[in-house]
Amino acid sequence: MNVANNPIWQFSLHWIQALIWVVALVGVFWMGLTMRWSKLTAVLVFLTLDLVMFGSYVRLTDSGLGCPDWPGCYAKFTPLQADTQIAQAVQEQGGTQGYVSPFKAWVEMIHRYAGSIIGTLILVLVARVLWARRRGEDVKLGLPLVLLGWVILQGLFGKWTVTLRLIPLVVTLHLMGGVILLVLLAWFWMRNRADLVSVRAGVSTRALLWAALVAVGVQIFLGGWTSTNYAALACSGFPTCNGTFTPHADWAAGFTLWRHLGENADGSPITTAALVAIQWGHRLFAIVATAAVLAAVAALWRHAALRRLAGWIALAVLLQVAFGVVLVTAGHPLLVAVAHNGGSAVLMLLLVGALYRVSAVAREQAPSESLGSAFVKLHPLPKN
């Protein structure tokens, strides 16, 4: 097997360029070591939310192949160093409307830089947990290791997105991986807070929250599938699709998961009917997801301590519906599309926060045993 030409194993950076990248990440690692623990966990959640939103911007601006190799840009550390190769690619494709342009190269590489920073900070998180355990602190290592493994897997999906040339399932799973990483980090962040008051909300409330969380997760997958198949404009009009509630849709072709971009499984061009199925399926399931979230909101509203959170969840889901309607009726404006993607991630965060508040984990988490308190001892607050 020729590893250099195999898209699964492709690595494009020269060792000098790779060393520059490593040195930069060592600086990030050191910065993470000096942060207070509470700040590190909060920064990771914030950066990952930003990365999920920026990832949607990469996709929506068709910048995923702005640098068509990995992890560098034409084997260089920055697009600035690859300006000659980028200019040649632009000339060969007949202008900047293709996959490659200086702008798209920078968008793609900024996404990779940000992902590398998040991965490095998660490595810091694991290192600090190991250090605390070595000092005799009673802290759990399981979730930090899961986070490290997941971010490595997420990096591989980012690589395969490029080297396998935007296979829709790979790109969609990369999106889902980012959302799952965000949820895991948010849960970890909450586990290390002593100020979150738990609420005994009952089995039915927890069940409704789980149903809402799963429904929103499926809807995010369908939204990603719509975007990665370029099916966002397959249905015009609202609430109908191309003037009817029963559009001609090829469901089997639309939801054949493993295939190349713009093709059916047999290599033939994908049809408009398949794209309609993808878009219409996303719209129809939005009804299910919205109903599930509103049912969870109603359950949360019965508890005074959770009413504010319930209100935020209701607002988030209504904004998502509004963004979806604007996307269809206004021709898919870029900023609204990015907000729609980011809004889905925020909705997931709010639901996870609510689920944590009503879970047994929150009640069992004693401040004296929290991971945060372990690092307060390692990095004490300055005395006044």
* pLDDT by position in tens, the chain (length 384): 344 466 776 788 888 889 999 999 999 999 999 999 989 999 999 999 999 999 999 999 999 999 999 999 999 999 999 999 999 999 999 998 899 999 999 999 999 999 999 999 999 999 999 998 888 887 888 999 999 999 999 999 999 999 999 999 999 999 999 999 999 999 999 988 877 778 888 899 999 999 999 999 999 999 999 999 999 999 999 999 999 999 999 999 999 999 999 999 999 999 999 999 999 999 999 999 999 999 999 999 999 999 999 999 999 999 999 999 999 999 999 999 999 999 999 999 999 999 999 986 655 544 333 444 334 344 443 443
Domain boundary among 194, 209, 240: 194
Closest among 64, 75, 138, 137 to 105, alpha carbons compared: 64
186 and 213 inside one domain: no
Count CB neighbours of 138 within 10 A: 10
Which residue in the list 92, 108, 137, 364 is annotated as catalytic?
108
Contact 118, 43 (CB under 8 A): no
90 alpha carbon, distance to own chain's centre: 29
Residue 108 lies in a domain: yes
* Assigned token pair, 181: 């990483």
pLDDT digits 0-9 by tens, 65-116: 999 999 999 999 999 999 999 999 999 999 988 999 999 999 999 999 999 9
Closest among 166, 154, 149, 162 to 8, alpha carbons compared: 162
Contact 233, 275 (CB under 8 A): no
Tell me the residue range of the domain where 151 lies.
1-194
Side chain identity at residue 333, one-letter code: P
Overall residue count recorded for the chain in this entry: 384
Residue 377 lies in a domain: no
28 and 152 inside one domain: yes
- Residue carrying structure tokens 């370029």: 230
- What does each C-alpha distance from 44 to 151, 183, 232, 355, 372 come to in angstroms? 12, 11, 31, 20, 14
326 and 307 inside one domain: yes
Cβ density class 164-194: b for 16+ within 10 Å, e for less:
bebbbbbbbbbbbbbbbbbbbbbbbbbbbbe
- Residue 324 DSSP one-character state: H
278 and 343 inside one domain: yes
Residue 202 lies in a domain: yes
pLDDT value of position 196 = 78
Contact 142, 130 (CB under 8 A): no
Decide if 108 is catalytic. yes
pLDDT digits 0-9 by tens, 222-250: 999 999 999 999 999 999 999 999 999 99
136 alpha carbon, distance to own chain's centre: 35
Domain boundary among 172, 194, 216: 194
106 and 181 inside one domain: yes
Contact 102, 108 (CB under 8 A): no
Q: What sign has the CA pseudo-torsion 323, 325, 331, 332?
A: positive
Q: How far apart are CA 301 and CA 261, in angstroms?
A: 44
157 and 229 inside one domain: no
- Residue 79 DSSP one-character state: G
Residue 383 lies in a domain: no
pLDDT value of position 361 = 62
292 and 338 inside one domain: yes
- Cβ-based neighbours of 231, under 8 Å, separated by 6 or more: 225, 254, 275, 276, 278, 279
Residue 72 lies in a domain: yes
Contact 222, 255 (CB under 8 A): no
Q: How far apart are CA 141 and CA 288, in angstroms?
A: 37
Domain boundary among 142, 177, 194: 194
At residue 101, the 3 state secondary structure works out as: coil
148 and 236 inside one domain: no
179 and 208 inside one domain: no
Closest among 281, 356, 279, 286 to 318, alpha carbons compared: 286
pLDDT value of position 372 = 42
155 and 230 inside one domain: no
Q: How far apart are CA 54 and CA 341, in angstroms?
A: 9
107 and 220 inside one domain: no
Per the structure, how many domains does the chain have? 2
Residue 359 lies in a domain: yes
- What does each C-alpha distance from 300 to 63, 291, 314, 350 come to in angstroms? 41, 14, 11, 12
166 and 266 inside one domain: no
